[in-house]
Amino acid sequence: MSTFFFAKEARECYSFEDDQDPAGKGSWTPAMQAQASRLNQSINLIRPELYNDSPELIVRDLWKGNGNLLVSIDGGDRCKHFKDWANYIDSYQHHPIVLLVDNSEISYFEQEFVKLCSKRASIYHHYGSVYGQLTTKQCTSFVTFNPVLMHLAGAGPFGHDQRWGRMNMQ
């Protein structure tokens, strides 16, 4: 549902959808389009292909340096995309980009977090319960080289993790 949240809140929202239904009951893109119609929202669904989902192409073809860029890294190939975007923001630290990394507690992410921390990126980890569950806690992290972009960020509602960031908020 994050696509609909960001489509409502942002100037523009592009969602790269691989068309695999997480529930295993059919095609994801038609379900997304039907939900957008019910919500009366305009969404930009893009099927990720080798030629269109690299950070360089997204920045050049979609963002074009127009305002701040929030990149939500979620979905099936989030580990690859986080690595790609971590390398991109490290190379272009002056770009006003924030990465939102879902399920960032996954150990696969640790190497990239350590690297970004050593480069002095601002990293904010927010732990919380999964919607509808009381015992399962997951992490969503925000990463940027421009901490002013996070100036309205307040403390998250649950504990903090001091392994990967110098500016972890609780």
Global pTM reads: 0.78
Q: Which residues, in sequence order, are CB contacts of 163 under 8 Å at separation 6+?
A: 110, 113
- 158 phi and psi, to 5 degrees? -130, 155
**Does residue 29 sit within a domain?**
no
- DSSP letters spanning 31-58: HHHHHHHHHT---EEE---TTT-SHHHH
Q: Domain containing 120: what range?
A: 48-150
**Does residue 164 sit within a domain?**
no
**Does residue 6 sit within a domain?**
no
* The predicted structure's pLDDT at residue 98: 92
More confident call, 113 vs 160: 113
Q: Which residues, in sequence order, are CB contacts of 120 under 8 Å at separation 6+?
A: 145, 166
**Does residue 5 sit within a domain?**
no
* The predicted structure's pLDDT at residue 131: 67
Q: pLDDT digits over 39-70, tens only?
A: 888 888 887 777 778 899 889 988 888 889 98
**Does residue 159 sit within a domain?**
no
Question: Which of the four pLDDT bands, split at 50, 70 and 90, describes residue 96?
Answer: very high
**Does residue 39 sit within a domain?**
no
User: How many domains is the chain partitioned into structurally?
Assistant: 1
**Does residue 105 sit within a domain?**
yes
**Does residue 112 sit within a domain?**
yes
